[in-house]
Amino acid sequence: MSTNIVRGPYKPGRIRAQSRDLILQAAEAEFACHGFRGATMQRIAESAKVPKANIHYYFSNKLGLYGAVLENTLNLWDTVFNEISDHDEPFDVLSRYIDAKMDFSRTHPKASRLFAKEMISGAPHLSAYLQQDYRLWFKQRMGIFESWIAQGKMDNVDPAHVIFMIWASTQYYADFEPQILIATDTKNLSEQAFLEASDSIKHIILKGCGIR
Amino acid sequence: MSTNIVRGPYKPGRIRAQSRDLILQAAEAEFACHGFRGATMQRIAESAKVPKANIHYYFSNKLGLYGAVLENTLNLWDTVFNEISDHDEPFDVLSRYIDAKMDFSRTHPKASRLFAKEMISGAPHLSAYLQQDYRLWFKQRMGIFESWIAQGKMDNVDPAHVIFMIWASTQYYADFEPQILIATDTKNLSEQAFLEASDSIKHIILKGCGIR
DNA sequence: TGAAAAGTTGACTATATAGACAACTATTGA
DNA sequence: TCAATAGTTGTCTATATAGTCAACTTTTCA
């Protein structure tokens, strides 16, 4: 006797590759929370509400999925930070940059955490991507800072450390949210809280670098 | 015919629980790199150069081992930061605190990363530990800052954000080392590099808060 | 309209992993 | 001295996981 296989309902009509996005979103959350090795395809599938086999229809394997998520995240990163225009005055440029980074932490905490996990793990999958463009971007910004210092527009502080402080301080509100919530005894970080944090960081960085 | 089991050499004479420390160290590195779920007992065993079964002799299970590593790390944390004495002058107190945190990042990067991974994952195993003492410590420090502000010894910046900036900036040099190495195009962070970073952070934080 | 392509699905397989276990060796201490 | 205890080790088992597969349904387009 041949047993007819009983299946769940076939879900049609998702416009082309909508499933792909569902999977990418679920994967982003799962990888951000548990890292590459800690994440499981099963949990990603459940979270995306698709069968696990469906993931393998869209992505070659776990590493391929992870790569796609990382690429997605880096693109997001770029589009946000390319909007920063090169004003001449350090006060304006840094104010805008800090606001933009802080806004990114608020609106894309999972992307920030994914990036952080990858870095803490030694950036095994990311280092290839970053080698080229990243250093160039960094060197250019360093140059701008140095010209500001030469023009007496800011104190003689190593620009690298200034940039690291900005990155560290702004990403902290996304990556270490639990620590902040515990310390401040609150349930979640409001948009208001982010704005206040942004103001404090701007005050300290700008004044601390002697920029006015 | 009974086959005699061939075994590797029995390694005797390790003074009591020396193996335990070997395992704890290996586990710290593995958990710091891959997180709780991404770490495997097999890799920890290989890294510690003991058979996997030996781990289960000292620790009940994977979660027990993780808990022991976390507890170890937290104790380390405490002993380092309890050395900070309560000077009256904010300049001295914050200078010493930043130096101490920075030194911790340099000498215990794995502990810092383990802590970071746990936080980014939502602190599932840690939140219970932190609830009690942590908030108290934080509130006390906040109070000190507020008295400084009232005495006109520093600008009126929300103390919470100042503390977060210090934590973020100092931990960054341990947690995001790969990013720093890529950006600055260097092989590793020397003690000299840490000292320079510490000086930059102190300059910006102290001046930025109007402390002199 | 109908065959081919695109997309979905449950079941399956091979492997990796956490943990249990029994057999062993060294150490202790009465 | 010798039995009890502490510590070490290879093997085994149950389960979890990544990835495969063939059967299915819908969509596309000539």
pLDDT digits (tens, 9 = 90+) for B6-31: 444 545 445 456 889 999 999 999 99
Q: Please provide the distance, in angstroms rounded to a whole number, between the alpha carbons at the two ends of chain B.
A: 84
Question: What digits encode the pLDDT tens for the residues B51-95?
Answer: 999 999 999 999 999 999 999 998 888 777 776 666 689 999 999
Do residues B61 and B96 share a domain?
A: no
**B6: in domain:** no
Do residues B63 and B87 share a domain?
A: no
Question: What digits encode the pLDDT tens for the residues A108-132?
Answer: 999 999 999 999 999 999 887 787 7
What CATH number should be reported for the domain holding residue B202?
Answer: 1.10.357.10
Contacts A–B by Cβ distance under 8 A = 181
pLDDT attached to residue B7: 42
Residues 6+ apart with CB under 8 A from B124: B118
Do residues A87 and A61 share a domain?
A: no
Do residues B99 and B39 share a domain?
A: no
B15 touches strand D (CB under 7 A): no
Do residues A46 and A98 share a domain?
A: no
Do residues A149 and A179 share a domain?
A: yes
**In contact, B200 and A145? CB cutoff 8 Å:** no
Question: What digits encode the pLDDT tens for the residues B167-193?
Answer: 999 999 999 999 999 999 999 999 999
Residue with tokens 């962070």: B189
Task: Give the pLDDT band (50/70/90) at residue B117.
Answer: very high
Do residues A51 and A117 share a domain?
A: no
Cβ pair B120:A165 closer than 8 A: no
CB < 8 Å to A133, chain B: none
Cβ pair A204:B205 closer than 8 A: yes
**A75: in domain:** no
Structural domain span for residue B203:
83-208
As a rounded value in angstroms, the CA-to-C1' distance for B57 and D13 is 18
Do residues A18 and A120 share a domain?
A: no
- Residue A137 CA, chain-centre distance (Å), reads 17
What is the value of ipTM here, to two decimals? 0.89
Cβ pair B160:A184 closer than 8 A: yes
Structure tokens at B180: 């720093």
| End-of-domain residue from the set A42, A69, A96 | A69
Q: How far B99 CA sits from the closest chain A CA (Å)?
A: 15
Cβ pair A37:B32 closer than 8 A: no
B8 touches strand D (CB under 7 A): yes
Q: How many domains does chain B have?
A: 2
Do residues B142 and B103 share a domain?
A: yes
**B5: in domain:** no
Q: How many helices (H) and strands (E) does chain A have?
A: 10, 0
**B75: in domain:** no
Do residues B89 and B146 share a domain?
A: yes
State the CB neighbour count (10 A cutoff) for residue B137. 15
Which has the closest alpha carbon to A97: A136, A134, A145? Answer: A145
As a rounded value in angstroms, the CA-to-C1' distance for A186 and D13 is 46
Q: How far apart are CA B55 and CA B51, in angstroms?
A: 7
Do residues B61 and B153 share a domain?
A: no
**A197: in domain:** yes
Mean pLDDT of all residues belonging to chain A: 90
Q: Where are the beta strands (DSSP E) in chain A?
A: none
As a rounded value in angstroms, the CA-to-C1' distance for B98 and C4 is 68
Closest to B208 (Cβ–Cβ): which among A120, A180, A205?
A205
Do residues B97 and B185 share a domain?
A: yes
**A65: in domain:** yes
What CATH number should be reported for the domain holding residue A51?
Answer: 1.10.10.60
**A30: in domain:** yes
